[in-house]
Amino acid sequence: MLCLLAAALFVTSEEQLLQLGLVSALALLFFVVGCGISLALSSRKVVTLGASLFGSHQAVEDDRPWYRTFWCWQLLVSLLATLTVAVIKTEFSFVELFDQNGFAGAVRLFKGLLDPNWDVLPRAVLNIIETIFMAFLATTLAIPVAFLLSFVCAKNIMQGPWARVIYFAMRTFLNVTRSIEALIWAIIFSVWVGIGPFAGMLALMIHSIASLAKQYSEMVESVEEGPIEAIESTGANKLQTIWYAIVPQVLLPYISFTVYRWDINVRMATIIGLVGGGGIGTMLVQYQGQAMWREVGCIIVVIAVVVWALDQASAYVREALK
């Protein structure tokens, strides 16, 4: 409600004010009705879905079969309502799915994809090599930054009032950065540095730093306390404790996560080219925009082969590191 009232300060037209007031009234009505239903059910000791999920074990004990409980029917109704809303909002339609004209277009598309034009293969290979090195450089530049940030974002490292402030600030910053997809970062850097592989590499690097720092910090938080206490008992300072007690425990998982991230970046690099990030994605969107499906088929084959090969290689490396 407070958010709605604050939004009203920025609403100018009378119609928008009326709409905002209606939304506020409906939200208040649903809140009051929900509180009333909740109190009524609690007074009758009815176990709701929320109580079964988050309540104590004593509160959810029931001798009846699950299909005769209130929370079960509440779950079924909630799922049915959610499914109904999803169908409406996505405009799901079997009629359009199997429409004759649309289906004929899909058939023409798949005919082109299944009959690739191999004349563009040399150019596609050069572009996929560019894509691989974009991902490699982005991952390489992200590793040292993410390595340092991982200790700042680890709860067991950042103890003390000011350290907790830094911890929450960095966690929030990385969560926001990671929530922005690499595709959006590619658009930003395409405007900043121009269309090309440099923009795509920067987009992958920023997203990799945020993702790797989170994964690395979670590994730091899960280390055993024994070696840390042993190093601290010798009079070691904070940096020495981190280097001699924590880094040896997380080194192999760090390498495994890094190899996996490079694998992810290769796949993401094929997509960010669609918005000017360079690599084979740019070539793909050019042919797709001209409906040259045979050429698109060749590019898809190249992407699939390279992604499969790198996935197998990274899986082998990660297995060897265990």
Distances (CA, A) of 316 to 139, 245, 311, 320: 19, 28, 9, 6
CB 208 within 8 Å of CB 253 = no
Per-residue pLDDT of the chain (322 residues; tens, 9 = 90+): 445 444 444 444 566 667 767 777 777 777 777 677 767 766 766 666 666 666 644 444 556 666 667 667 777 888 898 899 888 888 888 887 777 777 777 787 888 888 888 888 888 888 888 888 988 899 999 999 999 998 888 888 887 788 888 889 888 888 888 888 888 888 888 888 888 888 889 999 999 999 999 888 888 888 888 888 888 788 888 788 888 888 888 888 888 888 888 888 888 888 887 777 778 888 888 888 787 888 888 888 888 888 888 878 877 776 776 6
Q: Is 73 left (phi over 0), alpha (psi -120 to 50) or beta?
A: alpha
Residue 309 identity (one-letter amino acid): A
For residues 207 and 187, give the distance between their C-alpha atoms in angstroms, rounded to a whole number: 13
Q: Where are the domains of the chain?
A: 120-321
Helix 247-272 and helix 197-221: axis angle, to 10°? 150
Lookup: tokens for 82: 């959610």
Question: Which residue from 259, 265, 277, 273 is spatially nearest to 314, judged by alpha carbons?
Answer: 259
For residues 116 and 289, give the distance between their C-alpha atoms in angstroms, rounded to a whole number: 17
CB 78 within 8 Å of CB 53 = no
Quick one: pLDDT at residue 4?
44
- Which are the contacts of 209, defined by CB distance < 8 A and separation ≥ 6? 142, 145, 146, 149, 174, 177
Quick one: pLDDT at residue 312?
82
- Expressed in angstroms, the distance from the first to the final Cα of the chain is 52
Quick one: pLDDT at residue 9?
45
Distances (CA, A) of 95 to 32, 110, 224, 275: 41, 20, 58, 32
CB 287 within 8 Å of CB 264 = no
For residues 261 and 252, give the distance between their C-alpha atoms in angstroms, rounded to a whole number: 14
Name residue, tokens 């277009």: 105
* CATH classification code of 120-321: 1.10.3720.10
For residues 185 and 176, give the distance between their C-alpha atoms in angstroms, rounded to a whole number: 12
